[in-house]
């Protein structure tokens, strides 16, 4: 009897919870903002957004737009936290992480990939050509080469010089906000209100060889649910993985919070969890979020995070994100 009541109550509970959810989602869906719209992390997001916007305007799909958008940063040797020219690990090796996802929950990812300049395109191929989501290390490299990617040295003279300098002290403190730009994460909503996302990085400079951060992990560095919205992160990957950061931002939006409230909620959780940990001293995390209705936000733990915004009203502008401390 008690059990039957419990089941009945649970069913009633879940019906009312789902109708509550539905009414919130419907409310969101009736309030469309300007689409298409693209947001991406840091200063380098400006150039990347322009590339992505151009692709969209030329009739390419959202997936190609985000892929080629972030490739712009991967190709640029002056972007020291992404792709070619990214700072190496403690052994002087440049190791790359990336992932990509579309409105249909298709996703692909590579981690600990070496000597291939465009990990985001390899991640897209993993999504499109394999039964898997994530390839790592030598397996990812072999897959890339088999699919026509060129083996290249990604350690530029400047990065080698910086690494040799670092070796003198070998002090490990991840520097987030490095020259005010870092991992690039890009979120896009197209004119059909479908969502796309991409995230690519060379990870934390001077990391241990083999370390993988949040950026290639679906749910940590990037997540989207086409009924609700999309989110992506930058900052100390360990803190984002620990809290399933991007997935949680999306879940907050599902519960009815705005993109800004959702980013704040997860930054607050990260702050509470890390306040008494040694990495608190250098911890920085930031999220960008884009809801199904095209509303957007960025928010970080510490000052200094910004993101690029492109839509029909804004021919790509830089927005200073809100911050907690």
Catalytic residues: 183
Among 237, 245, 294, 298, binds ligand ASP (CB under 6 A): 237
Contact 285, 240 (CB under 8 A): yes
Pick between residue 190 and residue 214 the one whose CB is nearest to ligand ASP: 214
Smallest distance from ligand ASP to CB 9, Å = 43
Rounded Cα distance between 223 and 45, Å, is: 18
Smallest distance from ligand ASP to CB 153, Å = 21
Query: To 10 degrees, the CA torsion angle through 214, 215, 221, 225?
Result: -130
Take residue 39 and report the two structure tokens written for it. Answer: 């947001």
Please tell me whether residue 183 binds ligand ASP under the rule CB under 6 A: yes
Pick between residue 156 and residue 234 the one whose CB is nearest to ligand ASP: 234
Smallest distance from ligand ASP to CB 40, Å = 12
Pick between residue 73 and residue 201 the one whose CB is nearest to ligand ASP: 201
Smallest distance from ligand ASP to CB 73, Å = 12
Please tell me whether residue 213 binds ligand ASP under the rule CB under 6 A: yes
Q: Return the range that interacts with ligand ASP (CB under 6 A); candidates 4-12, 158-166, 229-237, 257-265.
A: 229-237
Q: Return the range that interacts with ligand ASP (CB under 6 A); candidates 131-139, 201-209, 253-261, 304-312.
A: 201-209
Please tell me whether residue 215 binds ligand ASP under the rule CB under 6 A: yes
β pairing state of 95-102 and 107-114: antiparallel
Please tell me whether residue 36 binds ligand ASP under the rule CB under 6 A: no
Please tell me whether residue 214 binds ligand ASP under the rule CB under 6 A: yes
Q: Return the range that interacts with ligand ASP (CB under 6 A); candidates 3-11, 112-120, 210-218, 293-301.
A: 210-218
Exposure class string for 272-281: b at 16+ Cβ within 10 A, else e: eebeeeeeee
Rounded Cα distance between 166 and 152, Å, is: 24
Q: How many CB atoms lie within 10 A of CB 242?
A: 16
Contact 158, 85 (CB under 8 A): yes
Exposure class string for 132-163: b at 16+ Cβ within 10 A, else e: ebbbbeeebbebbeeeebeeeebbbeebeebb
Among 96, 126, 144, 176, binds ligand ASP (CB under 6 A): 176
Contact 221, 198 (CB under 8 A): no
Residues in a beta bridge with 40:
186, 308
Binding residues vs ligand ASP (CB under 6 A): 176, 182-183, 201, 203-204, 213-215, 234-237
């Amino acid at each position: 009897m008690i059990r039957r009541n419990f089941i009945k109550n649970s069913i009633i509970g879940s019906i009312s919870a789902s109708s509550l959810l539905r009414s919130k989602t419907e409310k969101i869906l009736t309030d469309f903002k300007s689409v298409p719209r693209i947001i991406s992390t840091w200063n380098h997001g400006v150039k990347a957004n322009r590339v992505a916007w151009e692709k969209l305007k030329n009739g390419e799909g959202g997936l190609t737009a985000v892929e080629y958008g972030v490739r712009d940063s991967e190709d640029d040797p002056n972007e020291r936290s992404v792709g070619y020219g990214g700072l190496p690990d403690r052994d002087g090796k440049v190791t790359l992480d990336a992932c990509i996802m579309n409105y249909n929950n298709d996703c692909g990812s590579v981690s600990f990939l070496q000597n291939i300049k465009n990990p985001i395109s390899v991640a897209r191929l993993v999504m499109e050509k394999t039964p898997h989501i994530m390839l790592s290390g030598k397996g990812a490299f072999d897959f890339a080469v088999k699919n026509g990617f060129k083996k290249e040295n990604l350690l530029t003279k400047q990065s080698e010089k910086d690494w040799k300098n670092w070796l003198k002290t070998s002090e490990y403190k991840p520097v987030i906000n490095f020259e005010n730009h870092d991992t690039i994460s890009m979120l896009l909503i197209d004119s059909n209100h479908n969502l796309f996302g991409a995230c690519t990085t060379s990870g934390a400079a001077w990391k241990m060889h083999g370390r993988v951060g949040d950026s290639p992990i679906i749910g940590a560095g990037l997540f989207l649910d086409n009924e609700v919205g999309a989110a992506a992160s930058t900052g100390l990957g360990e803190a984002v993985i620990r809290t399933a950061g991007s997935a949680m931002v999306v879940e907050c939006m599902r519960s009815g919070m705005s993109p800004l409230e959702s980013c704040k909620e997860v930054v607050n959780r990260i702050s509470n969890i890390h306040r008494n940990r040694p990495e608190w001293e250098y911890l920085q995390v930031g999220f960008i979020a884009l809801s199904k209705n095209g509303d957007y936000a960025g928010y970080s733990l510490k000052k200094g995070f910004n993101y690029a915004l492109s839509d029909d009203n804004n021919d790509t502008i830089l927005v200073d994100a809100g911050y907690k401390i």
